[in-house]
Structure 1
């Protein structure tokens, strides 16, 4: 099918398992100018200028600069996932669009915009596929890309490199969608943003940014929210200085760092993707993010649109260490984030450390709580208190093809819900499973796609033929989602939440007060 938009796009028809009619896919659609050259590198993305003639939209776009080797290794570990991984390029601001092939010419369908995860260092639109969700839920699905790592999140903390380029790319993509998605049968007044891990954090940050006002109307943050402090930087300058120093740039001023980094050869930048000690995080730049997240939450300075969030029941399983998990190891890990109360947290999760099984299970639960589950509840509370309709979930089913590759004690791990939300059981194109899904997993995927699709259509995941999903309010009700059943539950991780949001801050305050007294 050919779509007229600015110029002309040529897409392709994609079949979807279990549906008589598939979707039309348009891959590699540019939404911004290529961020190339000293003036556009490390700068806010600019509107796209269009193209001449017919553009071939049947090929995957290049991924943003990252370690392709690390990404290939992650995909390889999934085993039965067949995926064609594109090359990397600094020219990467593209999106993929999937629209039902049987839609009416005047259709105004809900639009669901997927923001990929990967710790702001890895990922792309093309390692996902929106065809099944589009076909089964009669929605337009858009998968977007954004600059990663150094090019997306380097900041000097001032006007020379303010930071947040990757997040500004997301805003630019949403602006493009507002202007052009009607050409694909989408309703620009009914846009849902959704994402997982760093994609969920992105969704949550977009809910806090003044720049995204009016660009979307519902939001879903899976296993990642803005309350996830590990992806936030209090002071981004030391990381910028470290990279500049390693590049041979002058550290005399932030302007000289900026000038040097903007002119750095791309091979040097690609080389930094292999350095696992470098972490590029989100900072308060005064533009995309105007205040610290906690302050924005506390003051209810957020877009009060319908909000869904949640986590999986064993988010920390993927972070199991290969070394022996004794108390010393756990304490050392905790000290990276809470040095003043590391023993208090270790006591809570593993006790004295004599029980190896308790150490293992406590360690993974602790990481899941600190990074994913408790931040999700914090975000749910903030949006609820700001007057937004909120829906909370806990997902509890690892795909069976992954169960075969994991130790039996690992539950539903980080990212496991993606396979059912995006309907990987039904995809047939660029990314798919090598073996058919069991019937019960296909049914669970249809249920998950229905909940997500309902939310995109109405602002509530609830529907008469599904298990009731209550709104998250003062009673703190949520939906427990399993393979065989879904159950309404209450007070997700209540004791751990109280411990980490009340007891730990009190202990930190006591430690600071004691330190002040000792100095007098």
Structure 2
């Protein structure tokens, strides 16, 4: 049996190869993409650089995106456009669709729409090659771009610049999918939104947003949720408000006089500053917080996030959307990759913990630090630098990722008439990973497996892995693609067992989750003691990071 599985995986690992150009007619005009052979009579068509919005430049900077117009003739769609952290005219998307010649089935396919991460500051679609996922999963995959940094999220907390333009870009892209994806054999009424890190937080926020209702049917959130302390700005509660960051940007870009006049004058001045100057100035802004400077904001003017995410959850927002949430075991180890282990002492851990507590628990920071030290260090009798480093990673991973995911999972299954919810922890370490052993399974480790990179041999996401993929890596990638596309098709990642396991939905009684490791296994009570610890702190101090 093992020999049979290995043989099948090796056969499946044959790379897609270029076959020819392909022309497709859409409502907007003709597109010329690329057709790749994926097997006898099977192909993968890709169409890249399709505009879904008018260039958000000039008077459209810091404004809601406007739909793109059509074109005459045939538009080349065989290459990516420059990313939104490099050029302002960046609102394009890419479509990957499996094709049979001659057609064996004309029925519409489920659609998966990917939102990249990058702390709301960086990211681009070019590093997510969806050919393998679309081909092996028999789904249509769309990867979308959105404005980043100040251009995507600058907010003055009033009508001058409400913010959330990056989220509005994503909503417009979903509307484009609704209107156009049938031309690519995609089902506009069967759309799964999925993303990683800040992209996953965007998925989580759109799941709650009234402006995105009806635009997608299922959601997958990899390492990011709306309840994450870094995910969304909460005016009146954050120690530095979005308006203060906007004013700092004005002072750094020569708009200091406008800052003193009015928010309208500030935004008008910033519209006339070049993108390069804005990007450079953004890097110069002093940020004493861990959260991104420019990020989604709770606001009512545009109504993208009309209230705090926790309040929206308790009002049953998004309750009809089946969802998968998950985390990686050692998410925040990437923060310390360049830090000498000798710097990890009890004194430095206390200092870092105090700065962290000052941001999220102002006025009660010392009490919170004392509890953190007692829970993660004193109770475990830690004494070495290596142990202190591991504890620092665990504290940050728990607070930023694991605890918010579990709390959002719990809230979701308490909603009235809630749809099915799944939870996972990714614990798989590839044999030839470039990640040091002490860093474990860091943030982003699952992405190459979701996109089938062991099969495509592309340069892996974040260069986490070299080209030396093993049969075990191929098996893991096939399992991930199968579960993710099963969920897109059926709302169930394992309608038939995958890796010998059926993924049990999460409930308050079972608290089941899937451990995605060298072998798949269903477990219960993810990080239960640490979730209980942080829940107690949040309850004792009034949950300031959850409700503004």
TM-score (norm: length of structure 2): 0.84
Aligned to 2:160: 160
Give 1:495 deviation, angstroms: 0.7
Give 1:409 deviation, angstroms: 1.7
Q: Counterpart of 1:101 in 2: which secondary structure?
A: strand
What is the CA deviation profile of residues 361-394 of structure 1, one whole-angstrom value per residue up to 9, with x for unaligned ones?
A: 1111111111111111112112211112100001
Contact 2:87 2:275 in 1 (8 A): no
Aligned to 1:319: 335
Contact 2:253 2:281 in 1 (8 A): no
CA distance in 2, matches of 1:164, 1:253: 20
Aligned to 2:16: none
Q: Counterpart of 1:100 in 2: which secondary structure?
A: strand
Question: In structure 2, do the counterparts of structure 1 residues 188 and 61 end up closer, same or farther at CA, with 3 Å as the change threshold?
Answer: same
Give 1:304 deviation, angstroms: 2.2
Q: Counterpart of 2:119 in 1: which secondary structure?
A: coil
Residue number among 297, 300, 304 corresponding to 1:288 in the alignment:
304
CA distance in 2, matches of 1:22, 1:182: 18
Contact 2:146 2:170 in 1 (8 A): yes
Question: In structure 2, do the counterparts of structure 1 residues 28 and 105 end up closer, same or farther at CA, with 3 Å as the change threshold?
Answer: farther
Where do 5+ consecutive residues of structure 2 fail to align?
1-21, 235-240, 288-292, 359-364
Contact 1:19 1:135 in 2 (8 A): no
Give 1:268 deviation, angstroms: 0.8
Give 1:20 deviation, angstroms: 7.2
Residue number among 11, 32, 39 corresponding to 2:33 in the alignment:
11
Contact 2:29 2:72 in 1 (8 A): yes
CA distance in 2, matches of 1:333, 1:283: 26
Aligned length: 483
CA distance in 2, matches of 1:248, 1:242: 10
Contact 2:114 2:193 in 1 (8 A): yes
1:250-399 alignment, distance < 5 Å: 250-251=258-259, 252-272=261-281, 274-275=283-284, 277=286, 279-286=293-300, 287-320=303-336, 322-323=339-340, 324-339=343-358, 340=365, 341-351=368-378, 354-386=383-415, 387-399=418-430
1:244-255 alignment, distance < 5 Å: 244-249=250-255, 250-251=258-259, 252-255=261-264
CA distance in 2, matches of 1:463, 1:96: 29
CA distance in 2, matches of 1:223, 1:239: 26
1:409-424 alignment, distance < 5 Å: 409-424=438-453
Q: Is 1:451 matched with 2:487?
A: no
Aligned to 2:14: none
CA distance in 1, matches of 2:40, 2:438: 36
Where do 5+ consecutive residues of structure 1 fail to align?
67-87, 512-520
Contact 2:248 2:285 in 1 (8 A): no
Give 1:53 deviation, angstroms: 1.2
Residue number among 451, 462, 467 corresponding to 2:494 in the alignment:
462
Q: Is 1:98 matched with 2:131?
A: no
TM-score (norm: length of structure 1): 0.89
Aligned to 2:151: 151
Q: Counterpart of 2:437 in 1: which secondary structure?
A: coil
Q: Is 1:2 matched with 2:23?
A: yes
Q: Is 1:473 matched with 2:507?
A: yes
Q: Counterpart of 1:29 in 2: which secondary structure?
A: strand
Question: In structure 2, do the counterparts of structure 1 residues 186 and 329 end up closer, same or farther at CA, with 3 Å as the change threshold?
Answer: same
Residue number among 406, 411, 416 corresponding to 2:435 in the alignment:
406
Aligned to 2:175: 175
CA distance in 2, matches of 1:430, 1:373: 28
CA distance in 2, matches of 1:401, 1:151: 38
Aligned to 1:440: 472
Give 1:104 deviation, angstroms: 5.0
| Stretch deviating more after TM superposition (342-351 or 124-133) | 342-351
Question: In structure 2, do the counterparts of structure 1 residues 509 and 42 end up closer, same or farther at CA, with 3 Å as the change threshold?
Answer: closer
Question: In structure 2, do the counterparts of structure 1 residues 182 and 436 end up closer, same or farther at CA, with 3 Å as the change threshold?
Answer: farther
Give 1:434 deviation, angstroms: 6.2
